[in-house]
């Protein structure tokens, strides 16, 4: 049997060699890549549509009454949907929720809950806290931050069907 060249192996592929920080939770791993205020590109890597709810912090208002009680008024949260394989540009805070929902859904599907519903006496480990699985998932679902220039190009492409902005008469001269 041929031996694999050590140069081709990643440290995470060798038993006992840790390169993943075990102290981080899933949200912290995403936060290392992007912030809640960033605009990011994500993709639904599942073979089913994904729906989640998200409420922007701008959709909350509060007042403090005379007895120092904070009264919060919230609008209805938005329901978001990404079809299987669909890519979209989201605010970072919304992407946190989307990726969290998708990760949990895919971990549960991997165990086979859809085909074999759990008996309440059965306990399954869905590997939600597996750091290597979390890192690999984020690498697949997160497509990067969007710069203002990229956001403008995406908006023009969506509105006109053309990736390049139209030249203005002043720019043509």
* Three-class DSSP labels, 96-134: HHHHHHHHHHHHHHHHCCCCCCCCCCCCCCCCCCCHHHH
3 pLDDT higher than 60: yes
Tokens of 51: 């729906």
Residue 143: name the closest of 53, 66, 33 by CA. 33
**Inside any domain, residue 45:** yes
Q: How confident is the model at residue 172 (pLDDT cuts 50, 70, 90)?
A: very low
135 pLDDT higher than 90: no
Q: What pLDDT is stored for residue 64 in this prediction?
A: 92
Q: What pLDDT is stored for residue 45 in this prediction?
A: 93
Residue 34 C-beta-side C-alpha neighbours within 13 Å: 24
**Inside any domain, residue 147:** yes
Q: What pLDDT is stored for residue 173 in this prediction?
A: 45
Mean pLDDT of the chain: 80
164 pLDDT higher than 60: no
| Site of tokens 């480990």 | 125
Which of 17-26, 31-40, 71-80 is predicted least confidently? Answer: 17-26
Report percent pLDDT > 70 for the chain: 75
**Inside any domain, residue 59:** no
**Inside any domain, residue 166:** no
**Inside any domain, residue 67:** no
Predicted confidence (pLDDT) per residue in 116-133, tens digit: 565 555 556 566 778 888
The answer to whether 156 and 163 are in contact (CB under 8 A) is: yes
**Inside any domain, residue 165:** no
Q: How far is CA 155 from CA 85, 105, 160, in A?
A: 20, 30, 8
Predicted confidence (pLDDT) per residue in 63-114, tens digit: 999 999 999 999 998 899 999 999 999 999 999 999 999 999 988 876 655 5
Residue 137's domain comprises: 22-51+83-117+125-159
**Inside any domain, residue 150:** yes
- Residues with Cβ within 8 Å of 21's Cβ and at least 6 positions away in sequence, in order, are 131
Q: What pLDDT is stored for residue 69 in this prediction?
A: 92
Tell me what the mean pLDDT of segment 46-68 comes to.
Answer: 91
The answer to whether 165 and 149 are in contact (CB under 8 A) is: no
**Inside any domain, residue 75:** no
Tokens of 43: 């993709």
């Amino acid at each position: 049997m041929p031996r694999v060249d050590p140069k081709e192996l990643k440290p995470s592929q060798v038993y006992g060699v840790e390169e993943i920080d075990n102290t981080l939770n899933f949200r912290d791993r995403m936060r290392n890549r992007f912030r809640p205020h960033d605009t990011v590109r994500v993709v639904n890597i599942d073979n089913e549509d994904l729906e989640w709810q998200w409420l922007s912090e701008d959709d909350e208002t509060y007042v403090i009454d005379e007895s120092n009680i904070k009264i919060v008024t919230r609008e209805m949260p938005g329901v978001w949907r990404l079809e299987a394989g669909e890519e979209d540009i989201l605010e970072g805070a919304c992407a946190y929720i989307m990726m969290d929902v998708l990760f949990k859904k895919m971990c549960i599907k991997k165990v086979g809950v859809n085909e074999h519903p759990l008996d309440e006496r059965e306990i399954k480990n869905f590997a939600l806290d597996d750091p290597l699985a979390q890192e690999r998932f984020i690498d697949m679902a997160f497509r990067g931050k969007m710069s203002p220039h990229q956001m403008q190009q995406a908006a023009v492409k969506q509105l006109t069907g053309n990736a390049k902005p139209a030249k203005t008469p002043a720019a043509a001269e």
